[in-house]
Structure 1
């Protein structure tokens, strides 16, 4: 499962070997909304035309993915003439047209996506209300990219020096995504008994091929489709979006659990008794120990820190207790508290940079928080819950 992009115009790779044929092609006009199967792709400098040209934002101007709103899996998209039609259960058909000409009446917003700033044109009230109603979330807006706006650089995690040569719009990391149907079939064969199987829709590819050998696509560096040369940029990340059932919109982690069992990230092996290994939090499955063999001493730990309140300054400590939920110091667990705004969106230093001015101390069983011109706030961890406590759920 790979992300691919058109190479620079003067770069070619001769001596291709025919290995398989393209089985299906897809575009995803609206990021996170169901895609459309098409019989051809118009390839541009920015990859496939209209692919991820729209994106959804929440009240806090954070983009929305299917991993944030699994209900988007229940949508259906079709291209009818010059219109994009979006359908969903118990909703009227939403009909969109691409806006070619900008005027002073258009509302243009700038937001961040994977660390890069990008603009979007806010669509009509009708479009916004449609998604607000369907998702049950006020403040959701649909934005459209315009060709006059800046583009984002391909994000290969700085593994390439020429990412700027491959601009993208609202895609995650690259302009095109290819998967092999045999790889999906092999993945399903590794699922636990009774687990729901996945299909190509879980992985949202632009190009679906059917090559007999599963995972062979991992070794393809270049490919040519109908005379167009493509270059492999990177392997696709293990994304939580793949866990959303495309028929029920229910998440099931079996996809990522199965992949970790027989296709762990490079250099990682499964062996008991060697202690924890740090991975991305979304890459750790329950009841599984992932460790490296043959440790080599390379350095010493200089300092240890814990951050009891998410977004607030941390505390330097002399030791950390390792638990299945992360690190702990005394009665204080890392990121045990969180700040919410009036809309129940969590707050961090990205949204409120003033939090960098805070100072946190652990004084016995109390957590002390200080800020400029503010009295000291003294907190204790609440161990016992009673009926007087107000408990809310956040996403």
Structure 2
């Protein structure tokens, strides 16, 4: 620091000395080190105290990012938890969106074969790919000369930067139904407000293109229980969760209020009500319009007292929001915070 910088005593809130000698400077330095050590030990002690009040309820088994809404998920071994969802390198969860010429979102409800399209990142390029189709490379950063389009996701307006003619032609050619375009959400754009989609969210909870929440959690036990009732088994990717938990009881996630994974704190908001999209086979892109939705309806409907909130849709998985950011990894223990 130059001569114009504030003195160490001033920064520590002590009276300034006219010309401190080397002994004074050394003493102040030792005091600062001691204070830092006390603070560090205090933080460690506080963390240990917190952990004594925690109950491990499971382990992170899988992490999934779905870069393009309704398209194929990308499994990752670690991800940063941000207020607007998981991030791994240049991939963000549901930060890309397929739209029609009117700017309305297009999902696997209308175009089931969207689930066969993947967006991955390799080095300095993004890659659009699908079976029996030539890959398309896209720049990591969408050119700022590309148009910013007004889009609509579940009736709410949101912007997206057009990913260009090549991407539009690639998706249109693959789906072979009508002209579509690919857009990308950028951090400076105004996000959607989860509270406007579902009242249970806070006015401060924000999302790009997900339906309602930045995090969807599902347990392996719940999926196994569903599959025990089905003739044709389904995968977790039928339900597009971000975090899959192992080592817990069936539907344990229904009762979790606050979770701690590493330094990441997540708070449960509401159950995820399920629609016809769950009947799209993630491997074939074929929509059955029946299972597993019909089976879920037979045993996973809400309590009559909550019918106004959920209607007649079955519940499977839980929506969470971020309380404290950080990074989570596959294999991390999942703790339930004491109430």
Residues 298-337 of structure 1 mapped to structure 2, 5 A cutoff: none
Structure 1 partner of 2:329:
none
Residues 1-395 of structure 1 mapped to structure 2, 5 A cutoff: 14=50, 15-49=53-87, 50-99=92-141, 102=144, 105-155=145-195, 157-160=198-201, 162=202, 164-191=203-230, 195-252=231-288, 253-267=290-304, 283=313
SS in 2 for 1:18: strand
Structure-2 separation of matches of 1:176 and 1:97: 27
Per the TM alignment, residue 99 of structure 1 is displaced from its structure 2 partner at its CA by: 2.4
Q: Deviations over 1:313-357 (max 9, x none)?
A: xxxxxxxxxxxxxxxxxxxxxxxxxxxxxxxxxxxxxxxxxxxxx
Q: Deviations over 1:68-100 (max 9, x none)?
A: 111122234432123222221221112223326
Structure-2 separation of matches of 1:177 and 1:59: 30
Per the TM alignment, residue 205 of structure 1 is displaced from its structure 2 partner at its CA by: 1.1
Structure-1 separation of matches of 2:310 and 2:261: 35
Per the TM alignment, residue 48 of structure 1 is displaced from its structure 2 partner at its CA by: 1.6
Structure-2 separation of matches of 1:138 and 1:245: 22
Runs of 4+ in 1 over 6 A off after TM superposition: 277-282
SS in 2 for 1:92: strand
Structure-1 separation of matches of 2:313 and 2:160: 31
List alignment gaps of at least 5 residues for structure 2.
Answer: 1-46, 315-339
Structure-2 separation of matches of 1:268 and 1:136: 45
Number of residue equivalences: 259
Per the TM alignment, residue 142 of structure 1 is displaced from its structure 2 partner at its CA by: 0.1
8 Å Cα contact 1:240-1:282 kept in structure 2:
no
Q: From the superposition, tell whether residues 16 and 165 of structure 1 become closer, same or farther in structure 2 (CA, over 3 Å).
A: farther
TM-score (norm. length: structure 1): 0.61
TM-score (norm. length: structure 2): 0.70
Structure-1 separation of matches of 2:225 and 2:305: 21
Structure-2 separation of matches of 1:99 and 1:211: 39
8 Å Cα contact 2:273-2:313 kept in structure 1:
no
Q: From the superposition, tell whether residues 236 and 74 of structure 1 become closer, same or farther in structure 2 (CA, over 3 Å).
A: same
Q: Deviations over 1:278-324 (max 9, x none)?
A: 9999849xxxxxxxxxxxxxxxxxxxxxxxxxxxxxxxxxxxxxxxx
Q: Deviations over 1:86-131 (max 9, x none)?
A: 22122111222332663xx321111221232100111111100000
Structure-2 separation of matches of 1:265 and 1:225: 28
Per the TM alignment, residue 16 of structure 1 is displaced from its structure 2 partner at its CA by: 2.4
Q: Deviations over 1:18-59 (max 9, x none)?
A: 111100111111111101111111122322231111100012
Normalized per residue, which structure has more helix? 2
Structure-2 separation of matches of 1:179 and 1:56: 26
Q: From the superposition, tell whether residues 20 and 178 of structure 1 become closer, same or farther in structure 2 (CA, over 3 Å).
A: same
Q: Deviations over 1:227-263 (max 9, x none)?
A: 1101111111112211111122222212111111111
Q: From the superposition, tell whether residues 110 and 240 of structure 1 become closer, same or farther in structure 2 (CA, over 3 Å).
A: same
Higher-RCO chain (CA-CA 8 Å, sequence separation at least 6) = 2
8 Å Cα contact 2:63-2:77 kept in structure 1:
yes
Q: From the superposition, tell whether residues 74 and 42 of structure 1 become closer, same or farther in structure 2 (CA, over 3 Å).
A: same
List alignment gaps of at least 5 residues for structure 1.
Answer: 1-11, 270-276, 285-395
Structure-1 separation of matches of 2:78 and 2:139: 20
